[in-house]
């Protein structure tokens, strides 16, 4: 109780500035914002309870600007290389087990890129969520929000159909669309390990995660002049602000194109 009284009595504009200075030296901007938000809510509570006469946060500006962290994407030719390797694994399989696993892996990779889904959304697909007749998949995003993503690419539909035909019994017993060798739900970690293994085997030095397929899906669509509002719906973002991070990526790409590809670079004028 004595410590609490000391805290409230010493709570001032200057003490807050000192605390903010300490936070800025010790933590990332995101952590600083979270800690200050917690303290601000607490001081507001103290004010409401008449424990303090005024909230010192009302007298200072605490705007903390976080650096823009651009999503990491996979070059389109690298995605093509990974997909080609996945299909090669099917052709090279010398046992039914290896072939069935390779078909599943190719289906997972195709669906990641075709839908821009989170890896958890892919792993949580149920058998009824994949509509072969309607050519679509139903995804459940954050907060169990549903969205339906159309699939119009023949290769994607074919590999999904091949996978389902082979694993139909396991899928029916498990309930989930993607299953492992034990007939259980395929885990997110298994997908990550599969991608790492494929990249290492075919000599891709870039560290690639399942989520980077999502970033690439959005960025490549934006580069093809797809309206950002459509991309927002496809990604399942509740706010357009979240989707707008991809505009920073395409701006950086445009800058690089102008820097390296502009025809003025080919003019040698003395």
The neighbour count for residue 245, using CB atoms within 10 Å, is 16
Q: What is the pTM of this model?
A: 0.73
Q: How far apart are CA 42 and CA 257, in angstroms?
A: 49
CATH class of the domain defined by 76-208: mainly alpha
Q: What's the pLDDT score for residue 1? A: 46
Nearest residue to 171 (alpha-carbon basis) of 83, 103, 87: 103
pLDDT tens digits, the chain, 270 residues: what are they? 444 444 555 677 787 788 888 888 888 888 888 888 888 888 888 888 878 777 777 777 776 776 667 789 999 999 999 999 999 999 999 999 999 999 999 999 999 999 999 999 999 999 999 999 999 999 998 888 899 999 999 999 999 999 999 999 999 999 999 999 999 999 999 999 999 999 999 999 999 999 999 999 999 999 888 899 999 999 999 899 889 888 877 777 767 766 887 665 777 775
> Given this model, what pLDDT does residue 9 score?
59
Across 156-179, b (16+ Cβ under 10 Å) vs e yields: bbebbebbbebbeebbeebebbbb
* Burial status of residue 252 (CB atoms within 10 A of its CB: 0-12, 13-18, 19 or more): exposed
Residues of the chain with CATH 1.10.443.10: 76-208
The residues annotated with a catalytic role in the active site are 118, 142, 211, 214, 237, 246
């Amino acid at each position: 109780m004595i410590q609490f009284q000391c805290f409230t009595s010493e709570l001032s504009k200057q003490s807050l500035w000192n605390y903010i200075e300490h936070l800025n030296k010790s933590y990332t901007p995101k952590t600083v914002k979270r800690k200050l938000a917690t303290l601000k809510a607490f001081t507001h509570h103290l004010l409401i309870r008449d424990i303090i006469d005024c909230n010192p946060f009302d007298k200072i500006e605490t705007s903390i600007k976080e650096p823009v962290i651009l999503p990491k994407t996979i070059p389109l030719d690298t995605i093509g290389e990974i997909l080609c390797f996945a299909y090669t694994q099917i052709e090279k399989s010398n046992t039914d087990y290896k072939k069935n696993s390779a078909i599943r892996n190719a289906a997972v990779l195709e669906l990641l890129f075709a839908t821009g889904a989170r890896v958890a959304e892919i792993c949580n697909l149920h058998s009824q969520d994949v509509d072969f007749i309607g050519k679509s998949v139903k995804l459940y995003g954050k907060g169990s929000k549903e969205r339906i993503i159309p699939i119009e690419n023949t290769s994607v539909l074919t590999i999904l159909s091949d996978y389902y035909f082979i694993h139909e019994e396991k899928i029916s017993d498990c309930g989930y669309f993607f299953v492992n060798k034990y007939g259980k739900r395929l885990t997110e970690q298994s997908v990550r390990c599969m991608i790492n293994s494929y990249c290492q085997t075919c000599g891709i030095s870039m560290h690639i995660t399942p989520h980077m397929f999502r970033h690439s899906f959005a960025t490549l669509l934006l580069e093809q002049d797809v309206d950002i509002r459509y991309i927002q719906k496809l990604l399942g973002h509740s706010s357009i602000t979240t989707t707008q991070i991809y505009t920073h990526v395409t701006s950086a790409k445009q800058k690089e194109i102008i820097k390296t590809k502009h025809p003025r670079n080919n003019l040698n004028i003395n």
